[in-house]
A and B are shown apart, each in its own frame.
Chain A
């Protein structure tokens, strides 16, 4: 239950001149303090754990392989850069990727050497869990543990939300919400569940007023928008 909600500015590690100060949204969820970060990552300070969802690494390669267009092949690099920055800022020792980390199994294996090394470096020394998604069902030939879902009391981490579950943290929907004329990737949160936005760079979004999300989320759900700072609003429906 959202027992308390407040805006808790996190200190900026490197206050760049004129740059916006990243600010997360901290709240209690089933007795634990969680930070919803402006990047779309979730940080759980008590466990020093970072969770991200829907990286969709290798998306441009998959499209090319299927004879489609040749998108700028930089999204894996861009997404890893983003993830690297988050790990550096939070100094997390545990990471959970909530599924659809790779656009498909072949994309995971087709990762270029630089990106593979980079990912290996990120994984090294961390307790890293890959949750299976609908895009990347098979085991991945890269470090870390692979799970269909993960229970870390009091939470259950999985890819797609189960409407009957409590204290659940998931991804899959790529939710986004609108505020003051802007649409941004958003966390959705109610008493039962927390849904993470897509962390990957080449990912679209599903509006929070889509029937799938309106049915799933309780009436008093909040949307926490990502961007230059995390902003909580009643979930637009």
Chain B
């Protein structure tokens, strides 16, 4: 068994630290090629990961990089540096620990390349950059260990796929490299183990006691619609005063901001409360992290940026504002409370609106029943592979066969065929077009059997575009003449606004006045219905598990477990229309605000409901019903247009839908959005960097044009294949639509109503509306043009 340096053991003893059984086990398995540790939060997981490193480095370590630690969050690397610093300094060990992220200064990064620390803490993106340098083999020479923290979170995204390729690269540079993965509770440990390495052993720590979790009771009922949970602020403030430290999780940054603002307005006791999310500057985030570590804060309002790892021992309450969408993530968030091993975590759920009350109840039931959700991911995406090949070429010439052999050792790419790999290499080298246009200007060339960049200067551009995170471009919204910032909206949303449009932001209705210097200027318009709502960025689809549980709850005769206001709402819906059922599909049709509306309660999750919206509007368009747009939530799709739907059965015919899917895949907004992300990751188009975009017409030419061109001239192009795959499994989620159709068979119930129903009303405030560009819009555009010309006295 590997033993700790005496100085460290002494320091542990002096500070009253004893190792948990699974920490001992990690030391015992120090020489295993790969170990996956699954432990609850508070189990000293991270220390367990580093113990073998500390043991090997000992009291007088030789210079050079020994251990690489990769985490999904910048915040985590800073936190780990602090936490690791205590025992290392306490025991007087001569071990250098440094972090390296996008926030690290240029000089620091240069120095790290020349003289790496013993332990380097980084993120997948910074690692991609490091591996793309010509001196990567020198930097990583002698690397003994790599620790992947929060591997369960990484494994759910392309960042994780990219990381497995990097691990394969590192293993080639150092064949004796040993891997450690650290994970929270997951539904399928063997799948995660394969993700880490082909020969991983799983170490399962004691899961600890069940959490103490309930729904927060408030005097005021939650609102009918919207997010943010601001109605609950008095009750939440009360909980903060009753606990030492509270983490208040929100699902989006905008909501966290708005909540924080209102929380302070009501914080009459001046409780020290901070905010933490990914859009804040590094300084702001660090200030909050330090204050938290010092125990100076009573609460932090946060988002997914604190989902993972930060070890703040004094947190004794977690509040989740808004529906959790996914039981597994909820369980992991709850684990933030009471970072003490073997103590139950305490958590409160705060539904943001009536619908979420039902979802929160469903989530509570699932947590108590120990059921976790999770859908397996498909094979490693090839756009990530294309980027990896480009990055590899930046580091130096490579042999294609060797690279392929290396890549298939990465879990997600184990089944990648040689022809698939060759197609990716061809795309990276020549563009992969049917028309061989770039013979002279290939990006990569093969000389003496080795592939290399044609123009070595292009490496800088490639490096700038590394990483798989695609930022949604946002614009600030400010009140005209006041300059008061209200929040941010997606650029694509801003582009749909015309002066005079009203929309909801920051809980208030504002009027769009114009765009000035990359800022959306608005004025207040009290009392009017917002015409359009706001895009809110990342949305998770509610899991099948939760959706099924919600439908189950609906079937009850009465709802004694639900708060009275929600029970009454459901009863009212049952009275004026009906509640959705598991074995039939409920549709509601009604006029509202001069438009016809159709609501489809499919409970198939946000992405599938969105696809359903796209397919149905296509069908409606061909039936001449002039649909204008739709919006999807996890439970329903709301479609508006000029004419009502009276015969829904042909719209839902599975064959027609499947055919529609094929035709429609060609030209829709979701495909274009997916294509943009894929094209950026695969290196076809450059990321638009803040401040550089929209500076002139050269920068604005959109990926949509490339998509349309490829569709027309090169329909079998690799990027279109990837886009289709991506869209089908992610944003399109057609499998859940098929599951829905199989579930309901031909039982489709259309209720024609005279007005909006209780269940449909919240949909009118949903962000993320998608316009349908068809005859309806042409009809409106002509009418609007006519009105404008008349107003200008020209017609």
Within 8 A of B (CB), among A63-89: 64-65, 67-75, 77-78
Is B574's beta carbon under 8 Å from chain A?
Answer: no
Q: Which of A67, A112, A174 contacts B457 (CB 8 A)?
A: A67
- Greatest chain B CB density within 10 A among A5, A71, A209 is at A71
The total of chain A residues at the interface (CB under 8 A) is: 39
Interchain CB contact under 8 A, A205 and B700: yes
Interchain CB contact under 8 A, A206 and B697: yes
Within 8 A of A (CB), among B439-463: 440-443, 454-455, 457-458, 461
Is A168's beta carbon under 8 Å from chain B?
Answer: no
Would A234 and B781 be within 8 Å (CB), given that A78-B713, A205-B700 are in contact?
no
Q: What's the Cα separation between A151 and B89 when bound, in Å?
A: 82
Chain A positions within 8 Å of B113 at CB level: none
Is A180's beta carbon under 8 Å from chain B?
Answer: yes
Q: What's the Cα separation between A106 and B649 when bound, in Å?
A: 59
Interchain CB contact under 8 A, B683 and A182: no
Is A232's beta carbon under 8 Å from chain B?
Answer: yes
Chain B positions within 8 Å of A77 at CB level: 713
Interchain CB contact under 8 A, A72 and B498: no
Q: What's the Cα separation between A78 and B497 when bound, in Å?
A: 31
Q: Which of A65, A69, A173, A182 contacts B684 (CB 8 A)?
A: A69
In the complex formed, the residue of A with least CB distance to B453 is A67
Chain B positions within 8 Å of A205 at CB level: 697, 700-701
Q: What's the Cα separation between A102 and B515 when bound, in Å?
A: 32
Interchain CB contact under 8 A, B771 and A179: no
Would A201 and B684 be within 8 Å (CB), given that A182-B781, A183-B495 are in contact?
no
- A133 to chain B: closest CB distance in Å? 13
Q: Which of A73, A181, A232 contacts B433 (CB 8 A)?
A: A73
Interchain CB contact under 8 A, B785 and A232: yes
The total of chain B residues at the interface (CB under 8 A) is: 55
Chain B positions within 8 Å of A136 at CB level: none
Is B702's beta carbon under 8 Å from chain A?
Answer: yes
- B763 to chain A: closest CB distance in Å? 20
Interchain CB contact under 8 A, A67 and B789: no
- A49 to chain B: closest CB distance in Å? 26
Interchain CB contact under 8 A, B714 and A72: yes
Q: What's the Cα separation between A36 and B441 when bound, in Å?
A: 38
In the complex formed, the residue of A with least CB distance to B458 is A67
Interchain CB contact under 8 A, B709 and A75: yes
Chain B positions within 8 Å of A201 at CB level: 705, 709
Within 8 A of A (CB), among B745-795: 771, 773, 777-778, 780-782, 784-785, 788-789, 791-792, 794-795
Interchain CB contact under 8 A, A233 and B437: no
- B791 to chain A: closest CB distance in Å? 8
Q: List 30 A-B contacts (CB under 8 A).
A: A5-B795, A60-B437, A61-B441, A64-B438, A67-B455, A67-B461, A68-B461, A69-B443, A70-B441, A71-B684, A72-B709, A72-B713, A72-B717, A74-B433, A74-B709, A74-B713, A75-B709, A78-B712, A174-B697, A180-B781, A182-B777, A201-B705, A202-B705, A202-B706, A204-B699, A205-B697, A205-B701, A209-B514, A222-B794, A228-B778
Given A69-B683, A173-B697, A182-B781: 20 more A-B contacts, CB < 8 Å: A61-B437, A61-B441, A64-B437, A65-B440, A67-B454, A67-B458, A68-B461, A72-B710, A72-B714, A73-B437, A112-B437, A174-B697, A183-B495, A201-B709, A203-B697, A205-B701, A232-B794, A234-B788, A234-B789, A234-B792
